[in-house]
Structure formats: structure tokens, C-alpha cells
Amino acid sequence: LSLLILSQKLSGEYFRYKGIPFPVGIYSPESIRMVENADVQDDDIFIITYPKSGTNWMIEILSLILKDGDPSWIRSVPIWKRAPWCETIMGAFSLSDQPSPRLMSSHLPIQLFTKAFFNSKAKVIYMGRNPRDVVVSLYHYSKIAGQLKDPGTPDQFLQNFLKGEVQFGSWFDHIKGWIRMQGKENFLFITYEELQQVIPPPRPTPTPLRPSVLHSSPPHTRFPSREACSAA
């Protein structure tokens, strides 16, 4: 079952793990604890975002880079299988058949992320987004996602967002926590807005990109392609 189908059968209740709210049914204290204590491989690649900040867009881009621009992986394998979520009950660290390098996604704040990462050569790409757009997108998503609490009115939801009383807690704490990693050679911070500008990479990529990747990326990562799946 996809997370979308599963979410239609959930309660919309939250539990707290070390002070952070999580939707019941998609996550559990045990699944988050597993992430905290998981082993990390030096060639692992993690996409970290606050919810509704462009996770799926980044997954599509990295999927093309990892396959030298060949879009067949994108066309044949669901996005949740190409870059499984770390902290879900059926999380990435519980899967034994992932190819190397493993591409994984997470919304976890830095204090709950895999401890082993910080002593590894694994890479994190953190994608940020303007909080005004995040809160609007998250509000509308909360109205249709069964695993999330009813958002109430836009004003009520905005107040909850500002107080961090939404899934994965405060946007401000989330981005402030991860941005402290800037300057580390295995950490890249980039924004949704930077990608929208369709400009050359703002920083050198760890591996030179072949022409096939550069030619393949635009048609498979521009807005119409991204809109086929919701921006996680």
C-alpha cells in the first residue's frame, strides 16, 4: 500500500517522541528509535527536508544523477521505493534489498537523526523552502491527508505552525538545527527557490556530471513532471 492509501485509514492523532509530534500509524516510537541507532554506510545519500519543501523534486533529480541521466529508473520504480523514508514504520533501514549507494529520505530534525551519520562520510542534502509557502502547502495537504490532524481554519493552522504544534515540530528549529552543518564537506544546503531559478549548480558537485545527465534532467524535473506527485 502506498502512504497515500494508508493515510486514508488512519486516525489523525499524534504521539510525541522527545517532544516532537508524529502522526500515529505512519510512524511509531520504535521506528524513530531504530533510525537513531541505525548503521550508516559511507556512500549513503540522505535527502532531508521539513515537510512540503520539495523532497520529491530532489528525489527525481538525484535519481537521474545516480543513473547517469537514464530516466528508466524513474519510469519503472515508484518514488517511495527509490528513496524510502527512514522514519516510517516500514522504514528504509529495515529494507535489506537496497542497491548501493542507498538513497533515503527523512523529515527528522537533527537531534533525532541517525547518530552514526555524524561520524561517517555519508552525504546529506538539506532542502529548505520559504516558510510562507511551506505553511500554505502543509495546510492544504492536512485537509486531505488522513494521518494528519484537521488543520482547522487557516489562522488556527498558522498559529499551530508558528508554535511547532504540527507534524515534525517547528520549521524554525528544524532548519536552524540542520543549517549548523554548513561547511561540512558531506553536507549540502540548497533551497527550493534556488532550484526554481534553473541556474547552474551553486556549488561544485562531488562527481562531475556527464552530458547525458545535464540533457536528461530538465524534461524529467521541471514543474509538470514534479506535479505528478505531491511535493513531500
CA distance 209 to 183: 22
What backbone torsions phi and psi does residue 216 show, to the nearest 5 degrees?
A: -80, -30
Tell me the one-letter amino acid at 139.
Y
Residue 168: strand, helix, or coil: coil
Q: Whole-angstrom Cα distance, residue 107 to residue 114?
A: 12
Residue 107 designated active-site: yes
Helix axes 154-163, 131-144, angle to 10 degrees: 120
| Distance, CA of 90 to CA of 138 (rounded, Å) | 23
Catalytic residue among 107, 174, 215, 220: 107
Please answer whether residues 104 and 46 qualify as being in contact, where contact means their C-beta atoms are separated by less than 8 angstroms.
Answer: yes
Handedness of CA 82, 87, 90, 95 (dihedral sign): positive
Residues 145-161, buried b or exposed e (16+ Cβ, 10 A)?
bbbbbebeeeeebbebb
* 189: β partners: 126
Cβ-based burial of 8 (10 A; exposed 0-12, middle 13-18, buried ≥19): exposed
Taking the C-alpha atoms of residue 47 and residue 144, their distance in angstroms, rounded to an integer, is 25
Active site residues: 107
